[in-house]
Amino acid sequence: MSDIPGQQQPEVNARVPGPNSRSCSERLKDVECRGITYAGEDFPVFWERALGCNVWDVDGNRFVDLTAAFGVASCGHSHPDLAAVASKQSETLLHGMGDVHPPRVKLDFLERLQASTPGDLTGAILGQNGADAVEAALKAAYLHTNRPGIIAFGSAYHGLSGMALEVTDFDAFRGPFSAYMGNHVKVFPYPASDEALKELWAVLDDWMADNAVGAILAEPIQGRGGVVIPPEGFLQGLRQRADGVQTVLILDEIYTGFSRTGKAFACDWAGVVPDLLCLGKALTGGFPLSVTVGLPHVMESWPVSTGEAIHTSTFLGNPVGCALASRSLELHQELNLAERAQRLGDWALNFLQNKLKDCSWVVDIRGRGMMLGIECIPYASGMPRAVDLMGKMLQRGYITLPSGPESHVLSLSPPLVITEGQWEAALNHVVELLLEMD
């Protein structure tokens, strides 16, 4: 396997917290809500710059990012082509008027996107983040069916704004706002085995027979829910059941879309085209932009504006974001990132399974493409081992994240341009730390 030119970097440095980091922690306490960000002696890392898979903090420490910054930087941080596009576009048109007087670059992007998405997903609704895309999809489903009922799944994460929070199944996020939640969402367990899938079909079929469902919303692979890969037949079964009762099937590929799982979209593995597809994160490589694309018969349910659009925003179709998205789509093709993700991901999965087969702390190692999860049992104290592992990896110069409702899974989703050397070194550190844990 060959590395992508221009991404090689020297070995990672172990972290040495310095005065600038401590100063930033103190400053943060005065300006940001404590309920949002935790600031301590060793956490967080205050980023100064990033390139490829590498991040430098305010004290000059260098880290290898194994998260792609929440799955955004699939092409690598500050990819020179994307940086050049952002600079050029900002010099000519920094902001447009979305759905009133759209910039041409918005049209260019949407035409390129239409050629990249599966099936006949042609209509599009733009937003700024993943939650925007989910909310637009839920609105479209309601307009199409006139039925407010929604089927969602356990441990799902779809965003934290109003409607998106209602279909997100994390108590930590929903609990403080439970009084605002409606009763039109029915949550079923997300299947992780063939037996669980059979049980799902039994209860789902009975429930759908007696309830008016407007939308079925699912992630093809759960990301923040713990890198949960459903068994074969899950998406096909949802497609069949949605068709049977004229329900809109929505797939949330905000995390899994754009080469992450080894194909352009995770639904391609199942050969399923949803009615609505939610996209974001890696869409631009680093600029807030999301999109919901849909089949014509669903998207045409949106009424034609007679003077006021019923779903819009100030920054709709921002020119810089659209220009970046167009170039990002090209880069995924030029760099063969889907093939690279599958190749490096398959190697990593085999490596971890072999090295950790006798590790008593590891429950499961799973993944598809460059979307891997190591499920760990907690310490006797109840502390999630994956959280401890995240801290230890940070001290060795690697940025990771835990996932799952109980933070019991260490997630690995690096930029898809990570070099072989960086990837192998990182996984060796993971293995060494897990084997050392008591």
What does the pLDDT read at residue 3?
47
What does the pLDDT read at residue 2?
40
Every domain of the chain with CATH number 3.40.640.10 lies at 80-334
What does the pLDDT read at residue 4?
45
The CATH homologous superfamily of the domain defined by 19-75+336-436: Aspartate Aminotransferase, domain 1 (3.90.1150.10)
DSSP letter, residue 228: B
By the 8 A CB rule, do 114 and 124 touch? Answer: yes
> Which residues make Cβ contacts (< 8 Å) with residue 276, sequence separation at least 6?
137, 140, 141, 248, 249, 250, 251, 292, 293, 294, 295, 298
By the 8 A CB rule, do 375 and 404 touch? Answer: yes
Q: What is the pTM of this model?
A: 0.95
> Which residues make Cβ contacts (< 8 Å) with residue 412, sequence separation at least 6?
66, 348, 367, 370, 372, 373, 374, 400, 426, 427, 430
Structure tokens at 377: 């049992």
Mean pLDDT in each 10-residue stretch from start to end of the chain (438 residues)? Answer: 44 75 83 68 88 95 97 98 98 92 95 95 95 97 96 97 94 90 93 98 90 94 98 98 95 98 98 98 97 97 86 93 98 98 98 96 97 96 94 95 95 97 96 91
Q: Spelled out in words, what is the top-level CATH class assigned to the domain 80-334?
A: alpha beta
Distances (CA, A) of 307 to 98, 99, 144: 14, 11, 21
What does the pLDDT read at residue 5?
39
What does the pLDDT read at residue 99?
84
What does the pLDDT read at residue 11?
56
What does the pLDDT read at residue 438?
64
Every domain of the chain with CATH number 3.90.1150.10 lies at 19-75+336-436
**pLDDT (tens digit per residue) in 292-317:** 999 999 999 998 888 888 898 999 99
By the 8 A CB rule, do 71 and 64 touch? Answer: no
The Cα 283–Cα 71 span in angstroms is 10
Beta bridge partners of 56: 49, 62
